[in-house]
Amino acid sequence: MVVEKTTKIGDILDYDRGTAEFFLRMGMHCLGCPASRNESLEEACEVHGVDADEMVESINAYLETGTAQ
């Protein structure tokens, strides 16, 4: 999987549950909420004041290596 800013959070979590760490670190603690699962990564980053491009890069690096950065 390659994550983009338009990728839905639920799809990212379903692909690799380890990605939850990235969302929890940015203050998104409502990962089980149906509304949050349908948000795009970009929408979630905007709400939580996180740079979406950096988040995309970090999650894709993790998915490639299996190691959170």
| Domain edges within the chain | 9-65
Q: First and final CA of the chain: distance in angstroms?
A: 18
Mean pLDDT of 42-64: 95
Give the per-residue pLDDT at 7. 97
Give the per-residue pLDDT at 31. 81
**Strand, helix or coil at 5?**
coil
Phi-psi region of 36 (alpha: psi -120 to 50; beta: other; left: phi over 0): alpha
Residue 27 corresponds to which tokens in the numbers above? 């203050």
As a whole number of angstroms, the distance between CA 68 and CA 33 comes to 23
Residue 1 pLDDT > 90: yes
Give the per-residue pLDDT at 68. 57
Give the per-residue pLDDT at 56. 97
Rounded to 5 degrees, φ, ψ at 38 are -95, 0
Q: Mean pLDDT score of the chain, rounded to an integer?
A: 90
